Structure 1
Amino acid sequence: MTDMQAPNAEPGAPSPIASLPNLRDLGGWPTGDGQRVKAGLLYRTADFSGLTDPDAQRFESLGVRTVYDLRSASERAAAPDPELDGVANLPLDVLADSSTAIPANLRHFLDDPATAARINAELSGGRVIEAITATYRSMVTLPSAHAAYRRLFQGLAGEDTAPAAFHCTTGKDRTGWAAATLLTVLGVSREDVLTDYLLTNERLVPALKPVFDTFAAEGGDPDLLLPILGVREEYLVAAFDEVDNLYGSFDGYLVDGLGVDGLGVDGAVADTLRSTFLE
């Protein structure tokens, strides 16, 4: 590292980079067997569209060598990741098999306030919560999601170089499920997985105040944006429930859903992840 401090092992520590408010190190979370996720090896974040030049240098000093981009092709084209020396960038389109998922269309809410009146009408009456909850279930079932998360796990288990970061647009839905599955494989409790997930409401939502203000100025109800740009416990719970309903257990999802050989409690991939990212 250059001008950055040593990795912070405090679970859920605030982002060290101001223009990436939803960036966080997954290190520090304890496991059920008394170990702890290593700091400085795994990062979750939103996309890099807001990254300033000075902060780009700070991000580089984290030492990340692999970035997994969980967005769609159109999202990547609209806000491409920066090219960083020595960093491999892997596109993994989680929602490629879904044309209507709200998380894959968040740029419409972030960049196009002129549509506020239409969005205001379409998303009233709790329909947005139902739609996003359905998207979380689809992240467990879609073939494109299986392929993306399979490749992510394979990469973290040794196909790619750590430290690694993964992201989508706002770093909360596709990224949230990636972090939840990874922490669960590592043995972190469901309570702590949910705590990490819900930190987006503290870190990202306040940074999006200009989006809420513009939405209101264009005639929209800012409260309608909260379930879109923030997270709710019921979203992540719906994904875990879908795992149980379809696969009977989390290990069943890993083996039969993602289809990675040996990715069970005693599997080679899981063992590699634990030996790599736990201390």
Structure 2
Amino acid sequence: MTEHDRTAPGTPIPVATLPNLRSLAGWRAADGRAVREGVLFRSTDLSRLTGTDTAVVEGLGIRTVVDLRTAPERERRPDVRLDGADEVVLDVLADAVQAAPTDMAEILEDPGRARDLLSDGQARAAFLQAYEHLVTLPSARASYGAFFRVLAAGSGATLFHCTTGKDRTGWAAASTLMLLGVPEEVVEHEYLLTNDQLLPALQPVLDHFASLGGDPDLLLPVLGVRPEYLATSLAVMRRTYGDVATYFADGLGIDAATQAALRERLLVDR
């Protein structure tokens, strides 16, 4: 058992070059069981990992890295490979005409363009649509279905991520916890931890944008997460499928037997 396993659920794992890194361990399901230690981790992309930090992450026992990013994102910032870990690429937004949660690099260098694209509620609207797409896009359903099949068949720990580890990764974490029977208010709490664990690491980005004459408040709906974002995905899931089990079965192709196998693998008596 590593040191982080003895901390409260959701506690950040302090790796400077991999912000928003935390385990899903410890969150308790309605049946009294809890998410098993050392099996599921979430983070930002692994492109900035350095030597000593890489060793820390490898020490978590990661055997599978699931990359939920688009091809341009992966090409622009390829992951540092972890020793002993297989890489699984699942492009959640491959079918999106306009993918709001992906790369912001060019916008961050151009405050005028940022104002044109993000002001007057445009950022909020784009992200609400993106969170609908996390449930409805064929590429999202195929990718998340493959993610859960990887979890069901795998051994050792899995680390899953997108670019900032908040939207595509956030829905992966939320749907995992809901499948396991973690109450929805706890799922939302885990999701919102990203604001505490990611935004401080992005302060240099906000400062740089301000130095160019931009308004950092424009970026907050883009760089953080909001309850209404997750609520949008949940509402679309319920409107389309009725409940979590049916979403997994009909939306993701994860049948009842595989759902049960996931619960047995990922939950432990406490």
- TM-score using structure 2 length: 0.95
Identity fraction in percent: 48
Shift of 1:107: 3.8
Amino acid at match of 1:80: P
- The residue number in structure 2 matching 1:114 is 109
Q: Deviations over 1:132-191 (max 9, x none)?
A: 011000110000001100000000001x33310100000000000000000001111101
Alpha carbons 1:66, 1:88 under 8 Å: kept: yes
Alpha carbons 2:134, 2:140 under 8 Å: kept: yes
Distance 2:162 2:74 in 1: 9
Amino acid at match of 2:112: A
Amino acid at match of 1:58: V
- The residue number in structure 2 matching 1:155 is 150
Distance 1:67 1:133 in 2: 27
- The residue number in structure 1 matching 2:264 is 275
Shift of 1:7: 2.4
Alpha carbons 1:176, 1:197 under 8 Å: kept: yes
CA RMSD of aligned residues (A): 1.4
Shift of 1:269: 1.0
1:194–1:6 Cα change, 3 Å: closer
- The residue number in structure 2 matching 1:15 is 13
Distance 1:106 1:256 in 2: 33
- The residue number in structure 2 matching 1:28 is 26
Shift of 1:19: 2.2
SS for the counterpart of 2:60 is coil
Gaps of 5+ in 1: none
> Which of 99, 102, 108 lines up with 2:100 in the alignment?
102
> Which of 124, 131, 134 lines up with 1:129 in the alignment?
124
SS for the counterpart of 1:44 is strand
Alpha carbons 1:8, 1:27 under 8 Å: kept: no
Amino acid at match of 1:119: A
Distance 1:8 1:146 in 2: 34
Gaps of 5+ in 2: none
Please state if 1:251 is matched with 2:245. Answer: yes
Alpha carbons 1:8, 1:40 under 8 Å: kept: no
- The residue number in structure 2 matching 1:92 is 90
- The residue number in structure 1 matching 2:217 is 223
- The residue number in structure 2 matching 1:169 is 163
Shift of 1:9: 5.2
